[in-house]
A = this chain, B = another copy of it.
Amino acid sequence: MLIMDVGSTKRDVVDAARRVLREGNLGSFVPAHPITGKEVAGVEHADADLYLDKQVILTPIEHTQTKQLKMAIDIWQALGCRVQQMSPEAHDAAFAAVSHLPHLLAFALMNAISGQPQGQDFLALAGPGFRDFTRIAASDPRVWRDILLANREELLTQSKIFQAHLQTLELMLTNNKSKALEELIVQASSTRSQWQMNQPQE
């Protein structure tokens, strides 16, 4: 028997597995998180290539049996995924930063705009940059309520770090610090330009 999940947080599902699975079955559980998805839900949006060339993170624990771990790796590789392993804690810290926080920011931005009297006029003018930036805001609300709550400690930590950087940028704007502002944008722009999806950096 192999038990897997495909959730976006791993510490909570490992905790739940420890609570409800018998000792023998706990060894059959391989926590998994495929790094792919869509902002639309439902079987009508099924996509046979969804997992192709994507990463999947497995977070085995001390009880996980070698045989089940090998089975899990084989299944994901057969679907076209590249498999990585890490601890549930390392997983949740990383995805707070690169997935859960961007969702939180996208939700906040949509509500910030639509909550203004001119919000609909503003939205009517938005272009391709806005389209891509806010795509994840359309994600399934109940799924993301659960993800954000399940990883709220790491997420709140990341949100505070983000706000400190945002406020630094605001300070450059307020004080008209053109040179310092440019340096911060260069840093952001070069980091993003050099980033490539699915290129693990050793």
Contacts and interface: CB of A to CB of B under 8 A. Distances in A.
A187 B54 contact: no
A184 B105 CA distance: 12
A189 B157 CA distance: 24
Contact of A94 (B122, B145, B148, B158): B122
A160 to B, nearest CB: 9
A67 interface: no
A186 B200 CA distance: 34
Interface stretch (A13-21, A24-32, A136-144): A136-144
Contacts of A101: 109
A66 interface: no
Interface string A109-131: 11111111011111111111111
Contact of A137 (B37, B84, B192): B192
Given A37-B129, A149-B173, A178-B149, A195 B123 contact: yes
A102 interface: yes
A108 interface: yes
Contacts of A156: 170, 173-174
A185 interface: yes
Interface string A9-49: 00000000000000000000000000111000000000000
